[in-house]
């Protein structure tokens, strides 16, 4: 499709994203989600065809990362640059937060010329999403009282509950791989725990996947060893979504059984829900000895399930095809030097380019979330950008 044809298709979607933060996918309507996907595709095609989507002449996109990140950090920076903003990373160790500066003060002080704030806060169960909303409340007050000339939008770059930019990028990958969202109906997606030689990984990736993919008529199989449960409220979201969309949602404790007849497999390690609760309290108390002890216990528990590693044999299906392998990266790879990991080296290598393509959608998803926050009518704004580009090259 041409850019113009995509814009014409976008005009058919109804959304309510204008000046709204993007914190959880299940807070958004189906029209909202489809609009973000389509805007992302258009922005990507504009970039590919050298059509400038720059809509800002100045302004900051502030990033707050309370956990390590490579792909999401650079995706946020890329998205911000694509739209014309400069990126400023908020290093809390160099701020006044340690001297008693409150969330309300920090949020306002970093926002005078800021258009967006991207936040990753996934370390503390029950705290990350709460913090994002606290920042949002502070920005609302600052704008209402005339402190801020505009109310910056907030993009959830991963919290304790959801990873919406990841899940939406994965959904766009599936949409483009199979040709449409409608083609996803009836596809079996296995979101599976996978053994990893590390512990304490957030629940938000598997929760984000089951919370989003269940909305499009897919048959979702959540597979994990007993004891590795996710948040009960997110499980309920997935069940209701599946029922409403005509799909299904099932929990299995056998990965071998779960992958039978699967169309898509998504292995990812995560810590048990109960462990994340305990870890949160230890982190708050700065109990390093307690954290060390908990880590040893968890690693010993993980070791009981090394057979949950994905390999080519398990990827072979009863159908005469292989499942589409997906991963949020980085994956713990099993190889000769390190025999323990989420996935066997040959399996990952076979799917490596596909996972890179999957990863490449995230900058455009983030840019689309920003774009739809700024413009009440995104198709009209994109049309103006396309018209501007035609004039730019006209003689």
DSSP of 265-322? EEEE----HHHHHHHHHHHHTT-HHHHHHHHHHHHHHHGGGGGG-B-HHHHB-SSSSB
- For residues 202 and 106, membership in a common domain is answered with no
- For residues 299 and 184, membership in a common domain is answered with yes
- With helix as H, strand as E and coil as C, how does 166-188 read? HHHHHHHHHHHHHCCCHHHCCCE
Write the pLDDT tens digit of every residue in 70-88.
Answer: 899 999 999 999 999 999 9
Contacting residues for 127 by C-beta, under 8 A, at least 6 apart: 121, 160, 280
- For residues 261 and 371, membership in a common domain is answered with no
pLDDT over 80 at 303, yes or no: no
Looking at residue 336, its pLDDT comes to 45
Helix (H, G, I), strand (E, B) or coil at 338: coil
pLDDT over 70 at 22, yes or no: yes
CATH at 175: 3.40.50.1370
Distances (CA, A) of 381 to 10, 99, 244, 317: 11, 43, 33, 45
Looking at residue 320, its pLDDT comes to 42
- For residues 24 and 97, membership in a common domain is answered with yes
Q: What is the mean predicted confidence (pLDDT) over 170-194? A: 96
The packing angle between helices 362-374 and 164-178, to 10°, is: 110
- For residues 152 and 9, membership in a common domain is answered with yes
Looking at residue 107, its pLDDT comes to 95
More confident call, 192 vs 305? 192
CA-to-CA distance for 149 and 136, rounded, in angstroms? 15
Structural domain of 386 = 3-162+362-392
- For residues 9 and 84, membership in a common domain is answered with yes
Q: What is the mean predicted confidence (pLDDT) over 316-338? A: 65
Write the pLDDT tens digit of every residue in 234-254.
Answer: 999 999 999 999 999 999 998
Q: Which of 23-32, 98-107, 359-368 has the lowest mean pLDDT?
A: 98-107
| Residue with tokens 């806060």, as numbered in its chain | 121
CA-to-CA distance for 191 and 188, rounded, in angstroms? 10
DSSP string, 3-41: HHHHHHHHTT-----TT--B--GGGS-HHHHHHHHHHHH
Write the pLDDT tens digit of every residue in 210-243.
Answer: 999 999 999 999 999 888 999 999 999 999 999 9
In the chain, the percentage of residues whose pLDDT exceeds 70 is 91
Q: What is the mean predicted confidence (pLDDT) over 296-309? A: 75
CA-to-CA distance for 322 and 338, rounded, in angstroms? 26
- For residues 181 and 97, membership in a common domain is answered with no
Looking at residue 194, its pLDDT comes to 85
- For residues 184 and 123, membership in a common domain is answered with no
- For residues 376 and 263, membership in a common domain is answered with no
Q: Which two tokens stand for residue 19?
A: 């000046």
- For residues 192 and 331, membership in a common domain is answered with yes
Looking at residue 317, its pLDDT comes to 42
Write the pLDDT tens digit of every residue in 92-104.
Answer: 777 777 667 789 9
CA-to-CA distance for 160 and 294, rounded, in angstroms? 19
If 0-12 CB within 10 Å is exposed, 13-18 middle and 19+ buried, where does residue 48 land? exposed
Q: Which two tokens stand for residue 165?
A: 């930019």
pLDDT over 80 at 344, yes or no: no
| Mean per-residue pLDDT over the chain, rounded | 89
Predicted structure pTM score: 0.92
CA-to-CA distance for 207 and 211, rounded, in angstroms? 6
**Number of domains forming the structure of the chain:** 2
- For residues 231 and 290, membership in a common domain is answered with yes
- For residues 134 and 173, membership in a common domain is answered with no
Looking at residue 319, its pLDDT comes to 42
At residue 311 the predicted structure's pLDDT band, cuts being 50, 70 and 90, is low
Q: How many residues does the chain have?
A: 395
């Amino acid at each position: 499709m041409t850019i113009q044809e995509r814009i014409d298709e976008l005009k058919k979607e109804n959304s309510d994203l204008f000046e709204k933060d993007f914190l959880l996918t299940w807070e958004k309507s189906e029209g909202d989600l489809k609009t973000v996907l389509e805007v992302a595709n258009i922005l990507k095609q504009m970039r590919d065809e050298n059509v400038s989507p720059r809509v800002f002449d100045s302004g900051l996109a502030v990033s707050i990362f309370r956990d390590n990140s490579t792909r999401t950090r650079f995706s946020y920076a890329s998205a911000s640059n694509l739209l014309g903003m400069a990126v400023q990373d908020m290093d809390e160790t160099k701020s006044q937060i340690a001297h008693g500066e409150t969330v309300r003060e920090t949020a306002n002080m970093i926002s005078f010329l800021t258009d967006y704030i991207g936040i990753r806060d996934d370390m503390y169960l029950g705290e990350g999403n709460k913090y994002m909303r606290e920042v949002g409340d502070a920005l609302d007050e600052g704008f209402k009282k005339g402190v801020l000339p505009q109310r910056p939008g907030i993009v959830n770059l991963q919290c304790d509950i959801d990873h919406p930019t990841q899940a939406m990028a994965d959904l766009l990958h599936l949409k483009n791989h199979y040709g449409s969202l409608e083609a996803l109906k009836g596809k079996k997606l296995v979101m599976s725990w996978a053994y990893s030689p590390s512990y304490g990984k957030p629940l938000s990736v598997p929760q984000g996947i089951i919370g989003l993919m269940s909305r499009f008529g897919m048959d979702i199989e959540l597979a994990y060893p007993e004891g590795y449960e996710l948040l009960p409220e997110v499980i309920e979201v997935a069940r209701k979504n599946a029922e409403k969309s005509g799909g299904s949602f099932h929990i299995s404790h056998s990965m071998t059984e779960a992958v039978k007849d699967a169309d898509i497999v998504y292995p990812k390690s995560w810590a048990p829900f109960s462990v994340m609760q305990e870890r949160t309290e230890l982190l708050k108390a700065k109990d390093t000895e307690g954290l060390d002890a908990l880590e040893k216990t968890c690693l010993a528990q993980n070791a009981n399930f090394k057979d949950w590693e994905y390999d080519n044999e398990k990827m072979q299906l009863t159908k005469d095809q292989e499942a589409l392998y997906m991963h949020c990266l980085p994956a713990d790879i099993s190889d000769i030097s390190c025999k323990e990991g989420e996935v066997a080296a040959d399996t990952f290598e076979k799917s490596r380019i596909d996972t890179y393509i999957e990863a490449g959608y995230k900058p455009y998803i983030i840019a689309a979330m920003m774009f739809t926050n700024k413009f009440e009518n995104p198709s009209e704004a994109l049309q103006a950008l396309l018209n501007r580009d035609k004039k730019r090259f006209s003689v």
